[in-house]
Amino acid sequence: METLEQIKNRCELAARGAKVEIVANPGPSQQSSLLIDNEHAVPVARFLRDHPALSFDFCSNVTGVDWLDRVAKKTAKVKQVVDGVEKEVDQTTEEKIPGYLEAVYHLYSIKLKHGPLIIRLRTENRADGTRLPSLTPVWRSAELQEREIFDLYGIVFDGHPDLRRILMWDEFKDHPMRKDYVQPDDFEWEPTPHDEVLERAKQHYTSRPQLDGAEKITAPQS
Amino acid sequence: MSATIETIEAMERPPVTMTSRLDGELLEVSMGPQHPSTHGVFRMNVALEGEIVRKLKPVFGYLHRNHEQIGEDTTYLGSMPYTDRLDYFCSMTNNWAYALSVEKLASIEVPERAEYLRVILAELTRLQNHASLLGFLLSDMGAWGTPLMYAFREREKILDLFESLSGSRMMCDYMRFGGCRVDASDEWLSRAKQIVDRFPKFLDEFEELILQNEIVIARTQNVGKLSPELAVSAGITGPMLRACGVNYDIRKVDGYGIYPRFKFRIPLGEHGDTYDRLMMRALEMRESVEILKQALAQIQPGPIVNPKVKVRAFRPPVGEAYGRIEGPKGELGFYLISDGGPNPYRYRVRPPSFINLTVLEDMCLGHVVADVMVILGSVDIVMGEVDR
């Protein structure tokens, strides 16, 4: 397989205006990845699949990652004048990196038997800008996996043929794989609630909607 | 009941025809989740025209427990026993895939004897998985009981081996980062050798009884055809991909573990139909027997675990890794991101049987309802892995 640098250059030449960035992997696994801008993701993906020297025809794994807002601390030596004397002082600058969601694709080539090439797509933020282009038109194997990411992470894939919840039920509201997800406490409908669960259950009983009148029949006579 | 009511009813009833065909109208049937041949709690919404499938939408999630989130909330080693519960037929290969990914993440060497034990156990897992799959598939087709019991008789012997080695028949929790948990005694190895040597006899018998059976051929040939182009694009892996004639076996391609040391062939199908998928399993079992014979002859005494690996306070360096193996059902991969802490930041399972279901609709369209069960059976799914 060609080096990431070569593949990056090829991608930028093939899709005009595409911004491809190498995301270094600090670990020992030697699996660095390419970050592709959202606008050109589909043409770049198509290029990666169709180019004879690359032919990444097999998209093995598609997954989401949630990166929360974080603060990166940088320490740098700065010259400062303290009490009339110039000194070198450590100055830490804090840089706020806003959070984002990521979709990670692991590509292999069945024809040339090489891989993995890892490509990443990033959303603008974690709140209202969680849209990414779908790569399902390029690799069909992303179909169910992108649905799973939509379900568990809340990334909306534009151009996906059938974007619905897949593992959670359709009425479910939140996205349970996000790092700031808080579990609701109303799923513990025990047949005989007691202690803590009873207290919690009482709160939910009051707000429980009337279903069809059936519960009135079994309710004890007061 | 009086006669007058009957006549009124008869007048209001639509005219009855002899076919069950609803012209122009589709009948939606929900197959599952409680159905004997969905292998667990799996549902398919099928739109039928008469008996012909015109649309099929799989419905997942009945066994969803957010395995990945649980994996992120526990330590690296803490997830090892939980990987057994993914595909509960093949806990050994699940363990191996997870251990392999963590070994990539933290660059851990594995001693030679441990590699041999891993190959032996993975191939034994493949034998019992494929044998029971054939049994289940025939059971779905209506060969009720007998073939399944034939297959389970062989599976039982292998599970006994697992039990005597790891203490558990199905939930083995056997592998560790940088090796295996307990060593195999010489007595265990000779028992394994005996079972492996006798296995081809079972295969001969099974193939003669079942795979040349007229009814099996009629039910499976030209049913659920899958083209190699679609299979590659849809990420189909394992025996299902090779049944379409695509030569891709991760044991050969990646050469993980010590697989390059063994001589074995990759069986390939021609038509990509259900019969090919069935035959693929039978042929792969023969190759697994070959690998096992070589591995059991070559294995040497030695350490089984890398002593440098920390068991408590195990913290891989910051980074990410994707490791994959050729599981009995296809490519089983684990994608891990470490932030330097004791838990993985991201823990992802690439489940082969889930992704192999992508093309279920494509394979079933135009076939009758009864074929849906056979096609689904030939995909080889385990819901513990599909829903995670």
Q: Scanning the structure block, which residue is given the tokens 């191996």?
A: B96
Asked if the Cβ–Cβ distance from A27 to B316 is below 8 Å, we say: yes
Residue ranges of chain B with per-residue pLDDT less than 50: 1-11, 13-22
Q: Which residue of B has its CA nearest to A106?
A: B322
Would the CB atoms of A168 and B64 count as touching at under 8 Å?
Answer: yes
Got the DSSP string for B175-196?
EETTEESSPPPHHHHHHHHHHH
B58-107 pLDDT per residue, tens:
888 888 888 999 999 899 999 999 999 988 889 999 999 999 999 999 98
- The pLDDT of residue A206 is 52
- Does B146 reach chain A within 8 Å, measured CB to CB? no
Give me the count of residues in chain A: 222
Instruction: Give, in order, the Cα–Cα distances in Å from B349 to each of A28, B71, B140.
Output: 20, 10, 28
By the CB < 8 Å criterion, does B176 face chain A?
no
Instruction: Say if B68 is an interface residue toward chain A (CB within 8 Å).
Output: yes
Cβ–Cβ below 8 Å for A141 and B355: yes
**Mean pLDDT for chain B overall:** 86
* Nearest-neighbour CA in chain B from A166: distance (Å): 6
> How far away is chain A from the Cα of B232, in angstroms, using its nearest Cα?
6
Both tokens assigned to B377:
């059976």
Query: A145 and A160 in contact (C-beta within 8 Å)?
Result: no
**Is residue B92 within 8 Å of residue B125, measured between CB atoms?**
yes
Q: Complex ipTM above 0.90? A: no
pLDDT < 50: residue spans in chain A: 207-208, 217, 219
Residues within 8 A of A (CB atoms), B 192-221 only: none
**B358 contacts A143? CB cut-off 8 A:** yes
Tell me the residues of chain B between 291 and 350 that have a Cβ less than 8 Å away from chain A. 316-322, 324, 331, 333, 335, 337-338, 345-346, 348, 350
Kindly list the residues from chain B whose CB atom is less than 8 angstroms away from the CB atom of residue A152. Answer: 66, 68
Per-residue pLDDT tens digits for B232-261: 999 999 999 999 999 999 998 988 889 999
Q: Looking at residue A187, what is its pLDDT?
A: 53
pTM of the model: 0.85
Name the residue facing B357 among A144, A168, A176 (closest C-beta).
A144
**Contact flag B319-A25 (C-beta cutoff 8 Å):** yes
What is the per-residue pLDDT across B37-52, written as a single tens digit (0 to 9) for each? 777 788 888 888 888 8
* pLDDT value for B293: 92
User: For residues A92 and A90, what is the distance between their CA atoms, to the nearest angstrom?
Assistant: 7
State the helix-helix crossing angle for B274-298 and B369-379, rounded to 10 degrees. 20
CB-nearest partner of A110 from B248, B316, B388: B248
Identify the pLDDT of residue A194.
75
Contact B46, B58 (CB under 8 A): no
Residues A104 and B320: beta-carbon distance below 8 Å = no
Listed in order, strand segments (DSSP E) in A70-218 are 70-82, 85-97, 100-109, 114-122, 131-133, 156-158
